[in-house]
C-alpha cells in the first residue's frame, strides 16, 4: 500500500525507537518458542504452553496468547521453505508492563496515555507469553482505537467564503500547511484565498506569498505593522467579491506576549463576524510534532486564546516523538484534520488512524 509505506518510511524514527525498545523488553526475560508449534491433530503430547524449553516449571503455566497459525506450518512443508526462526516470547508480568509503560512514555505518548494503553493491553493477558510482533499488534490496535474518533478531515461547509483561521506558534508550520491545504483544495476544484495575517513579520508574509504562488492562489497582504484585523476584514470583502470558497487566514504565533496575541486573535474574530457572524468556521491549530510533550501545553494555551476546532500535526517525518499525537487524541479529543510528513507541497496526508498506528509501532503490513 503506497500511502502506508510512505508514512511508515517517514515515521521511521518513531517506529524504530519503539521497535528496538520492544525487542529489548521481550528479549530481556523471554524465551525462544518454536514458530511451528505442533498442532493438536499431529498427535503430539498436548503441552499447556508452546514454550520450547520448559522454564522453571511454573505449576500454572500460562496458555499461549494466540493459537499458532496452522497454515504456516503446512505451507512451509508444502513449499519446502526453510523453517522459520524461533520466536522469543516473554510472560506479561508487572515488571514487563512497567517497562512497556516507560517505553511508551519515552515515545512521547505521555504518562496518562501510556498507562491507559498498557493497562488495556494487559487486560486478560496477564501471565500470557507475548512476542514483539504480538505486542506491536496489540499496541497498534489500541492506538487505532484511541485515534479513530479524531480522524476527521477539515469539514467543508456550503458557506462562501468558508473562513479558516490558522493559529499556532511561530515555526510550527502554519505557512507551509496553509500552502499545502490551498493546493489540495484547489485540486479539488475549490477557489481559495489566503490572507497574510502575521503583518508584523515581513519574512512571514513573503514566505506565504511563495506558498501562494506554488499553490496557484492569491495571497492578500497588508503593509508591515498594519492591523491584522483590518487585513482580515479586507480579505473577507475581497474573498466575497471573488466568490471564493475558502479564505484561509494566517495569524501571528508570538506566545511571548500572550495577552497581545489573545487580543489580536479576538479582534480578528470580532471583525470578520461583522461580515459573517458564523465565521470563523474552523480554527485550526498547527502543531510541530518535534516539540513532543510541549504540543500538549500549546493546545491548552491556544484553547484559551481561540476556539480551536481542529489540529494539523506537522513534521511527523523524521521525528522520534510521533507518539505525542496519541497523547493529544487521548487528552483533548480534538479532530486531527491532516498530518505533515515533509516540506513539499504534497507532503500533507489525511490522517488515517490505522496507517498511523501501524507506522508508529513499526508493524509490517501483512
Ligand X SMILES: Nc1nc2c(ncn2[C@@H]2O[C@H](COP(=O)(O)OP(=O)(O)OP(=O)(O)O)[C@@H](O)[C@H]2O)c(=O)[nH]1
Which of 33, 176, 298, 361 is in the footprint of ligand X by CB under 6 A? 176
Near ligand X by CB under 6 A: residue from 174, 281, 321, 337: 174
Residue length of the chain: 366
Give Cα 348 distance to the centre of its chain: 12
Q: Annotation-wise, does 150 bind a ligand?
A: no
CA dihedral in degrees (361, 319, 166, 109; nearest 10)? 50
Determine if residue 173 is labeled as part of a ligand binding site.
yes
Asked if 197 interacts with ligand X (CB under 6 A), we say no
Q: Is 58 annotated to bind ligand?
A: no
- Residue of closest CB approach to ligand X: 340
Q: Which of 51, 204, 220, 305 binds ligand X (CB under 6 A)?
A: 204
For ligand X, give the closer residue by CB, 147 or 341: 341
Could you tell me the three cell numbers for 101?
A: 509503560
Instruction: Walk across the sheet containing 192-196 and list its strands.
Output: 219-220, 192-196, 246-250, 162-167, 282-288, 310-314, 336-340, 348-350
Question: Is position 132 an interface residue for ligand X (rule: CB under 6 A)?
Answer: no
Instruction: Report how many residues bind ligand X under the rule CB under 6 A.
Output: 21
Cβ proximity to ligand X: between 122 and 287 the closer is 287
Q: Which residue lies nearer to ligand X by CB, 17 or 174?
A: 174
Integer Rg of the chain from CA: 25
Q: Do residues 197 and 228 lie in contact, with contact meaning Cβ atoms separated by under 8 Å?
A: yes
Min dist. Cβ of residue 174 to ligand X (A): 4
Name the one range near ligand X by CB under 6 A: 17-25, 114-122, 147-155, 164-172: 164-172
Would the annotation count 168 as a binding residue? yes
Q: What is the distance between the alpha carbons of residues 68 and 141, in angstroms, rounded to a whole number?
A: 19
Is 169 known as a binding-site position? Answer: yes
CB 144 within 8 A of CB 357: yes
Does 340 bind ligand X (CB under 6 A)? Our answer is: yes
CB 335 within 8 A of CB 150: yes
Cβ atoms within 10 Å, residue 50: 18
Cα gap 100→135, rounded to integer Å? 10
Ranges within 298-327 binding ligand X (CB under 6 A) = 314-315, 317-318
Q: Quick one: which of 343, 346, 364, 365 contacts ligand X (CB under 6 A)?
A: 343
Residue numbers at the binding site for ligand X (CB under 6 A): 168, 170-176, 198, 204, 207, 253, 314-315, 317-318, 340-343, 347
Q: Residues within the annotated binding site for GTP?
A: 168-175, 250-254, 314-317
Amino acid at each position: 500500500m503506497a500511502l502506508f509505506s510512505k508514512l511508515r518510511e517517514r515515521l521511521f524514527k518513531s517506529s524504530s525507537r519503539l521497535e528496538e525498545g520492544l525487542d529489548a523488553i521481550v528479549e530481556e526475560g523471554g524465551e525462544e518458542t518454536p514458530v511451528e508449534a505442533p498442532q493438536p491433530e499431529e498427535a503430539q503430547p498436548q503441552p499447556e504452553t508452546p514454550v520450547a524449553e520448559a522454564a522453571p516449571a511454573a505449576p500454572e503455566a500460562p496458555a499461549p496468547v494466540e493459537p499458532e497459525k496452522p497454515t504456516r506450518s503446512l505451507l512451509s512443508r508444502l513449499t519446502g521453505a526453510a523453517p522459520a526462526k524461533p520466536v522469543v516470547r516473554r510472560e506479561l508480568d508487572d515488571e514487563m508492563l512497567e517497562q512497556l509503560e516507560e517505553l511508551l512514555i519515552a515515545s512521547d505518548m505521555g504518562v496518562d496515555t501510556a498507562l491507559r494503553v498498557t493497562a488495556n493491553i494487559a487486560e486478560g493477558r496477564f501471565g500470557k507469553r507475548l512476542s514483539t510482533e504480538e505486542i506491536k499488534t496489540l499496541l497498534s490496535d489500541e492506538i487505532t482505537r484511541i485515534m479513530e474518533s479524531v480522524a476527521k478531515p477539515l469539514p467543508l461547509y456550503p458557506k462562501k467564503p468558508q473562513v479558516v483561521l490558522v493559529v499556532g506558534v511561530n515555526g510550527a508550520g502554519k505557512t507551509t500547511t496553509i500552502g499545502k491545504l490551498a493546493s489540495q483544495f484547489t485540486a479539488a476544484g475549490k477557489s481559495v484565498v489566503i490572507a497574510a495575517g502575521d503583518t508584523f513579520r515581513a519574512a512571514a508574509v513573503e514566505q506565504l506569498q511563495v506558498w501562494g504562488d506554488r499553490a496557484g492562489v492569491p495571497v492578500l497582504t497588508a503593509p508591515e505593522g498594519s492591523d491584522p484585523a483590518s487585513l482580515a476584514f479586507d480579505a473577507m470583502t475581497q474573498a466575497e467579491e471573488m466568490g471564493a470558497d475558502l479564505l484561509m487566514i494566517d495569524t501571528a504565533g508570538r506566545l511571548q506576549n500572550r495577552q497581545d496575541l489573545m487580543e489580536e486573535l479576538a479582534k480578528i474574530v470580532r471583525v470578520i463576524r461583522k461580515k459573517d457572524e458564523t465565521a470563523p468556521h474552523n480554527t485550526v491549530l498547527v502543531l510541530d510534532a518535534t516539540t513532543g510533550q510541549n504540543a500538549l501545553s500549546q493546545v491548552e494555551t491556544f484553547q484559551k486564546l481561540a476556539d480551536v476546532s481542529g489540529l494539523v500535526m506537522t513534521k511527523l517525518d523524521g521525528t522520534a516523538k510521533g507518539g505525542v499525537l496519541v497523547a493529544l487524541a487521548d487528552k483533548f479529543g480534538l479532530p486531527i484534520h491532516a498530518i505533515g510528513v515533509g516540506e513539499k507541497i504534497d507532503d500533507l496526508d489525511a490522517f488515517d488512524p490505522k496507517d498511523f498506528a501501524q507506522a508508529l509501532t513499526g508493524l509490517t503490513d501483512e
